Copies of this chain bind each other. A is one copy, B any other.
Amino acid sequence: MTGRLFVIGTGPGNPDQMTPEARQAVEASREFFGYFPYIDRLNLRPDQIKVASDNREELNRAEAALRRAAEGVDVCVVSGGDPGVFAMAAAVCEAIDAGPDEWKRVDLTIVPGVTAMLAVAARIGAPLGHDFCAISLSDNLKPWEVIETRLRLVSGAGLVIALYNPISKARPWQLGRAFEILRETLPAATPVIFGRAAGRPDERMLVMPLGEAEAERADMATCVVIGSPATRVISRPGLPDLVYTPRFLEEPTR
């Protein structure tokens, strides 16, 4: 009889955007594995234990959690956003795939959450209202040439693009280069959304045309959404602009 292993997402950071299902998984767990700023969102009880680890140590963290679950402890692996989008669920699966047989018998429950691009989209209108994609700009995880090829193909396909992990101290130039590539295929007027910390007190939403988009507007807490040629901006008197992508590819006759 193994312990339970929950893999949850806290949502983007606003506690009201974390699902009751994730909350229940937290209540049922004894030990917590994850990046501390995410675990600190959970208001744990005194009998619940947080296990420290570095944000870059995802596979080690997954293995540590699986080891404890196999020993019979109920554990919770904590991601921000949704655990299945560039987060811990894949790391846990990788660890199970490569690990000892007993890890395959662990009672695993993955709990979905609101991922960053959905929270950003909701704050600005409906930029993901038509076909879209999510691409991590981290070239720690794949060769940079692959990222360039993907950006060319998806922008050429007319998909809206959500960029995760757009920039960091160790990866300072990649977002600027991504904008250069996208300017080759997309009109200069295409809206670019810098959605920082959506739903949190330090939220900052910024929209600028691709032709003027500057990588410095993003930081590690930003999800960058690049429109398609069909994406539109609505000016509203006394209210922020709305950005949306129509459901129909050609504008319907009105």
Contacts and interface: CB of A to CB of B under 8 A. Distances in A.
Interface of A: 11, 14-21, 24, 58-59, 82-87, 89-94, 96-98, 101, 104-105, 108, 110-115, 118-119, 121-123, 125-136, 141-143, 146, 149-150, 153-154, 156-159, 232, 234-239, 242, 244-250, 252, 254
Contacts of A237: 101, 104-105
A112 B122 contact: yes
Given A104-B239, A150-B157, A154-B153, A125 B234 contact: no
A114 B159 CA distance: 21
A156 to B, nearest CB: 6
A93 B125 contact: yes
Nearest to A11: B19
26 contacts: A16-B24, A19-B19, A83-B122, A84-B127, A84-B129, A85-B118, A85-B129, A89-B121, A89-B122, A90-B126, A90-B247, A93-B126, A93-B232, A93-B244, A94-B246, A104-B234, A104-B239, A105-B239, A112-B119, A112-B122, A132-B133, A133-B159, A142-B248, A142-B250, A153-B156, A154-B154
A22 to B, nearest CB: 9
A8 to B, nearest CB: 10
B249 A126 contact: no
A7 to B, nearest CB: 8
A15 B158 CA distance: 34
Contacts of A18: 19-20
Nearest to A82: B118
Nearest to A149: B157
Given A84-B121, A113-B118, A246-B90, A158 B146 contact: yes
A67 to B, nearest CB: 16
A53 to B, nearest CB: 16
A247 B17 contact: no
Nearest to A152: B157
